[in-house]
Amino acid sequence: MKDTIYLDNNATTRILDEVWQEMTPYFIQNYANASSVYHQMGRAANAAVQQARSQVAEALHCSPKEIFFNSGATESINTVLRGVFDKYQSQGNHIITAATEHKAVLSCCEQLKKQGGKITYLPVDRQGHISLADLKNAITSKTILICLMAANNETGVLSELEEIAAICAKEDILFFCDATQAIGKITIDLQQLPVDLLCLSAHKMHGPKGAGALYIRRKSKPIQLTPLVLGGGQENGFRGGTYNVPAIVGLGKAISKLSPKAYEPVEAYRDLLEAELSKIPEIIIHGQKTLRLPTTSYISFKHILASEIMTACPTLALSSGSACVTGSREPSHVLLAMGVSKEDALSAIRFSLSVLTTREEVLQCAQLITATVQKIRDQSPVWQLYKAGLLS
């Protein structure tokens, strides 16, 4: 057995070998500033940035002029939410999002509330979906932005992007989509999908940490955003600061290497893992009855804390939810919004696979989890009470 079986890929992924090889020359040989275009090394670094921009644009089916590099999705989320709120004050102060969005969205929205913003948090059903009727009913004359993710980072549940985008287009409201978990795993064609703003991070798709991109659709009436980071005018003034050339090169290479087809065997391994773990009594596979990412399985093991299981399995790299809040003792806000009890939410473990995950790793993981759950339950007074019918 390997020292560690890594199944925490929704938190971060390993850089692909070919991505690392593409990046390394820009650490050692051509380390020039991409804005120093008056010498050959600077121009070469700038050309590498533009090539990466074209690679991202090709993957998303948009223009390179619509792609702006930054440090990742959290920065993009702050840029869009704060930037739209600032620039569209004359039109309104209302933003619509969902209770299950990433904490970066929810935290930013809470901050905007303190500045006079009105935020609507749409509820979700047991599978994690918003109601399109609720979305339509929430829209007012003051609504300036709708912010909904493509795929949930904890459950992997996919949003109805086409329907949401159509509603936004009909109402002439900006639609911002956090597609961080979805890029490369499902098809997102921005020629067909009328999203106005979209963000992604390299480290979720086998690229480096600290690199991301924000897509801003070019429209006859340009989308206005107040820059979050001011500097030397890089990225057409949308994002100042020296270009992180190696990371941007890695982002471009990574996004060019992945496609939904590459994840077909991953989905088969995910289904195999769930089939094996379903032999354990009293588990809940969250979002199983709807469309999910091929990589993600979020499972509650009733009457056991997730932390107990993970502590007892030191050779497994797993998480109990979003990496941004996984150190918290609070249950997943996503599961609570889906109507899951606090007890069951605290027993939930996220298994997230990648294109590097093997069938052997999946089977070894299932074997370890099965044995561990049985051992903990055998020693648990709570489980004995449940078996005796004294707990529900």
Alpha helices for 115-174 (secondary structure H)? 132-138, 161-171
Q: Identify residue 45 by its one-letter amino acid code.
A: A
Q: Where are the alpha helices (DSSP H) in 285-358?
A: 306-311, 333-337, 342-346
347: three-class secondary structure by DSSP: coil
Tell me the three state secondary structure of residue 174. Answer: strand
Structure tokens at 40: 């050959």
- Could you give the CA distance from residue 270 to residue 291 in angstroms, rounded to a whole number? 13
Contacts of residue 188, defined as CB under 8 A and 6 or more positions apart, other chains included, come to 60, 150, 161, 179, 182, 198
94 phi, psi to nearest 5 deg: -105, 130
Tell me which residues are annotated as active site.
324
Torsion of CA 132, 137, 142, 146, to 10 degrees: -10
Closest CA to 344 of 285, 293, 278: 285
